Amino acid sequence: MAEAKVVKDIKAGADAVFAMLGDFKALQPGGPIESVSYEGDGVGMVRTIHMTNGAVVERLEQHDSQARSFTYAIINDDGPLPFSGYSATVNVADNGDGTCTVDWTGTFEPRGVDEATAIGVATGIYAGGIKGARLALEG
């Protein structure tokens, strides 16, 4: 099992960062994402990310606003990402000084590529998500 991890500080409050990253229905089209569709609400809901080269189907496995943590899994193995058995958890920790630390960690089996390449894809996704929150919230 491979692990990818990105840990970054954001100069914004933990609640605001978690409100952004933890909103499973907030993903917007852009870059390789052509559209996103959603089924259901809360834990168990499914989002389908339609990309130029296929779809990624994710299910929200756990969501805890108090702990500022959520876990999701990719539930299709025929998508364009090089992962099988994928699960990731995002934690947002309050640093007590108006900043927070985001820890985004995923585990998976590489599919169709070597482990280093799969980890690179995952860390790129995580870093991009954190960067989006940073750009939106840092003043």
Each residue of 25-71: pLDDT tens digit? 998 888 889 999 999 999 999 999 999 999 999 999 999 999 999 99
User: Which residue shows structure tokens 């409050």?
Assistant: 13
User: Which residue shows structure tokens 């970054």?
Assistant: 8
CA distance 57 to 79: 8
- Please name the residues in contact with 114: beta carbons below 8 A apart, sequence gap of 6 or more: none
**Domains in the chain: ranges and CATH:** 2-26+62-137 (3.30.530.20)
Confirm whether pTM is higher than 0.85. yes
Res 16: pLDDT: 96
CA distance 55 to 53: 7
Band of pLDDT at residue 72, cut at 50, 70 and 90: very high
* Residues 40-45: contacts with CB under 8 Å, at least 24 apart: none
